[in-house]
């Protein structure tokens, strides 16, 4: 399926757990989903789950 210029529905409810993280480099606390979580503040992948 290809979608160009139009939005499409994705139902993410209940599929992926949202976890709390803290960045070990800048100390930012945030929520993330997935395996390769990066800090939204400094883009570091040096994060820990809290």
| Residue 8 forms part of a structural domain | no
| Range of the structural domain that residue 27 is part of | 19-49
| Residue 25 forms part of a structural domain | yes
Judge contact between 10 and 34, C-beta under 8 A: no
Please write the tens of the pLDDT for every residue from 1-50: 455 555 555 455 556 789 999 999 999 999 999 989 999 999 999 999 99
Closest CA to 39 of 24, 19, 16, 18: 24
Total structural domains in the chain? 1
Query: What pTM was computed for the model?
Result: 0.67
Q: Half-sphere exposure of residue 27, counting CA atoms within 13 Å on the CB side?
A: 0
């Amino acid at each position: 399926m290809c979608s160009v210029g139009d939005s499409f529905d994705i139902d993410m409810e209940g599929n992926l757990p949202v976890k709390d993280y803290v960045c070990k480099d800048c100390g930012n606390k945030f929520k993330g989903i997935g395996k390769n979580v990066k800090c939204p503040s400094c883009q570091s992948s040096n994060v820990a789950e809290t």
